[in-house]
Amino acid sequence: MTGRAVVDVCVVGGGIVGLALGRELALRGRSVLVLESRRVGERSAANVAAGMLAPASEVDLSDSRLTEFALAAHAMYPEWCAALARESGLDAGFDPTGTLIVALHHDHLALLERLNEFQRERGLTAERLSAASARELEPCLAPGVIGALRTDDTQVDPRRAMRALVAAIAAAGGVLEDGAEVSALVRDGDTYALTVRHRESEATVHASQVVLAGGAWSARVALPAGLPSLPMRPVKGQVVRVRGERLIGHVVRTPDVYLVPRADGELVIGATMEEMGFDARSTAGMVEHLLREAQRVLPGIAELELTECGVGFRPALRDHLPAIGSLDGAGLFVATGHFRNGVELAPITAQLLADVMCEGRTDPLIAPFTPARFATVASA
């Protein structure tokens, strides 16, 4: 990429949201350029994420509008993965087995009851299980488990999904450039001009539409004058990965830890929530905490190989809701702030933002997530 490129849409950010959007727009016939400043996945939150699609398990943490959005996302996931597999030839590791939320003591049980109330209030179903029934489903659970809740929450493998998206973008005629950092963005008549540093050289990209999808780094692109910048901060998450004999089929969670099993024997254990800025260190205390909590619910983990300690940065806006829509009332869009839910929400974000960009149609599901809500705050 040198000199000058002209495209319909430039997506700034090659995380799972940017990639899903790049694919969606390319499938709709747009000429698409996705720019990622590092290698794809290198610092993406999705690359560290476990990939739980968990509207029911986290309903107590969510704004009701976000729950509604997540449920719609959840409903479209199987078909989205199937389409992605047809386009890319790659399996994203979608697994519908379901989720067990287990209690190890009475405080956990109280949290499960409260979660279950939230679920009923929002019309979600979850099955209350005795300890014996839970262990019938998952025989490796610790003897200390005293009760469980089973939900239909599923999982996908975010790393495999991202590899499939990269292939699908190419198959649909889109272009993905990594190592491409946007240093300036200006309005240029009816289009936008982006200055891009790419492997020692500089290029200018002209695009009719631009989408900022840089996750926790989304607010780093200097915007055209007059636009408010997003109140974005990174929320550090530490995750460890172990590997060996497969001990569980369901995603297993306690209020303290989650365990996400993959078909290939990997088990993802997460995750911390830390206000540490962009501190990318795996720390002794948090790794110990995750491994200890995981062993309390699944003792067999002790004998598995510790293969990876990872750190990701969730993109958190001030209200912990995503920002999806136009920033300037014209061709400059954002799709960011997905916080703990980027993997789950990427497909629906791509589809509904593409509706806005290609058809001018804003689905009511994303209306609450307009970035305009921060304009008010910024000018207050």
Binding site for a second copy (CB under 8 A): 240, 242, 244, 281-288, 291-292, 294-295, 301-306, 309
Closest distance to a second copy from the beta carbon of 84 (Å): 32
Report the alpha-carbon distance of residue 37 to residue 346 in Å, rounded. 19
Query: Measured from the CB of residue 298, what is the shortest distance to a second copy in angstroms?
Result: 10
For a second copy, give the closer residue by CB, 145 or 259. 259
Residue closer to a second copy by CB (options 188, 245) is 245
> Residue 52 has which token pair?
């739980």
CB of 311 to a second copy, least distance (A): 10
Q: How far apart (Å, rounded) are the C-alpha atoms in residues 380 and 345?
A: 30
d(Cα 93, Cα 9) in Å, to the nearest integer?
A: 29
Give the residue with the Cβ less far from a second copy, 260 or 286. 286
Least gap, CB of 324 to a second copy (angstroms): 35
Phi, psi of 197 (to 5 degrees): -95, 125
Distance from chain centroid for Cα 108: 26
* Burial group, residue 153, by CB count within 10 angstroms (0-12, 13-18, 19+): buried
> Please, what is the minimum distance in Å from the beta carbon of residue 54 to a second copy?
23
Residue type, 231: P
CA distances from 147 to 44, 248, 250 (A): 35, 17, 15
Among residues 2 and 282, whose Cβ is nearest to a second copy? 282
Which residue's CB is nearer to a second copy, number 19 or number 311? 311
CB under 8 Å to 1, separation ≥6 — which residues?
177, 180, 196, 198, 203
CB of 244 to a second copy, least distance (A): 8
Instruction: Please name which of 57, 55, 5, 61 lies closest in space to residue 31, comparing C-alpha atoms.
Output: 5
Q: How far is the CB of 143 from a second copy (least distance, A)?
A: 17
H-helix or E-strand spanning residue 65: helix 64-88
Cβ proximity to a second copy: between 228 and 310 the closer is: 310
Q: CB of residue 293 vs a second copy: minimum separation in angstroms?
A: 10
Nearer to a second copy, 256 or 319 (CB): 256
Nearer to a second copy, 191 or 295 (CB): 295
Q: Is 44 left (phi over 0), alpha (psi -120 to 50) or beta?
A: beta
| Contact criterion met (CB below 8 Å) for 232 and 317 | yes
C-alpha 15, offset from chain centre: 8
